[in-house]
C-alpha cells in the first residue's frame, strides 16, 4: 500500500497580488516590478509559510484581539485565509482567522496595492515592535547602539528574569541614549 501524500497545506508560498491603483500608470509599473519591491510595513510579495510558523501581525484587523504586533502561530493554511493561534496576551490560545486584505503603502512615489496577508515571519523583531510583548527568552543585538531615549530599557524589560536575556554587544559595551531634560 503506498504511503499517503503529505498535504500541500503544510508548506505553501503565499504570493500577493499586486497592481497599481491608477490604470494610466500600469504600463510604467509592470507587475513583476511591483512584486520585486520590499516595502517597509508590507509583507514580502512571496510569503513562505508552513504550519507551526510564528508570525506577527502588521496591521490592526480586529482590535483588541488582532492588532499590529500580535504574535501568532500558524495552525492551518488556506488560499484566502490563515487559521492561527494567538501566542501571548489577554487572548492567548484563542484561534483566529487572518484574511487577505488590500494593503497600500503610503511612502512610495506612486500608489499601488497588494492583496495579501498582513503578517510577517517573526524570527526577530525591532525594539519598537517588541514594546508591550512578554517573552520567555530574549536575544538583544546591540552591534548598533540604541538610537532613542528608553529603547534599551524597553529591550531589556521584555523578559521577567535576567537569566532569560542574552545580549550581543561589541566589547561588552553599548551606548544608552538618555535625554537629561526629560529626567528633570
- Is there a single domain that holds both residue 117 and residue 30? yes
Q: How many domains does the chain have?
A: 2
Grid coordinates representing 17? 497580488
Model-level pTM greater than 0.75?
Answer: no
pLDDT digits (tens, 9 = 90+) for 45-94: 788 889 999 999 988 888 888 888 888 999 999 988 999 999 888 899 99
- Is there a single domain that holds both residue 73 and residue 49? yes
Q: Which of 123, 140, 169 is the last residue of a domain?
A: 123
pLDDT digits (tens, 9 = 90+) for 90-112: 899 999 999 998 887 777 777 77
C-alpha span between 133 and 21 (Å, rounded): 36
Main-chain phi, psi angles of 38, to 5 degrees: -110, 95
pLDDT digits (tens, 9 = 90+) for 21-49: 666 666 667 777 777 777 777 777 788 88
- Is there a single domain that holds both residue 95 and residue 147? no
Output the CA angle 68-51-43, nearest 5 degrees: 35
- Is there a single domain that holds both residue 62 and residue 21? yes
- Is there a single domain that holds both residue 31 and residue 66? yes
- Is there a single domain that holds both residue 59 and residue 30? yes
Full domain range(s) for residue 86: 11-123
Q: In what order do the strands lie in the sheet with 54-57?
A: 95-99, 81-86, 71-77, 54-57, 119-121
Amino acid at each position: 500500500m503506498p504511503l499517503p501524500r503529505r498535504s500541500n497545506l503544510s508548506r505553501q508560498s503565499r504570493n500577493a497580488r499586486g497592481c497599481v491603483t491608477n490604470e494610466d500608470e500600469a504600463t510604467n509599473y509592470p507587475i513583476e516590478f511591483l512584486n520585486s519591491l520590499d516595502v517597509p510595513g508590507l509583507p514580502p510579495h512571496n510569503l513562505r509559510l508552513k504550519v507551526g510558523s510564528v508570525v506577527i501581525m502588521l496591521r490592526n484587523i480586529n482590535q483588541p484581539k488582532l492588532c499590529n504586533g500580535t504574535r501568532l502561530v500558524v495552525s492551518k493554511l488556506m488560499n484566502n485565509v490563515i487559521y492561527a493561534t494567538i501566542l501571548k496576551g489577554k487572548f492567548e490560545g484563542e484561534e483566529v482567522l487572518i484574511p487577505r486584505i488590500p494593503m497600500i503603502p503610503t511612502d512610495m512615489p506612486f500608489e499601488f496595492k497588494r492583496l495579501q496577508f498582513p503578517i510577517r515571519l517573526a524570527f526577530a523583531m525591532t525594539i519598537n515592535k517588541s514594546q508591550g510583548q512578554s517573552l520567555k527568552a530574549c536575544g538583544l543585538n546591540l552591534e548598533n547602539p540604541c538610537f532613542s531615549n528608553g529603547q534599551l530599557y524597553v529591550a531589556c524589560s521584555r523578559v521577567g528574569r535576567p537569566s532569560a536575556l542574552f545580549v550581543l554587544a561589541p566589547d561588552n559595551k553599548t551606548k544608552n541614549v538618555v535625554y537629561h531634560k526629560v529626567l528633570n
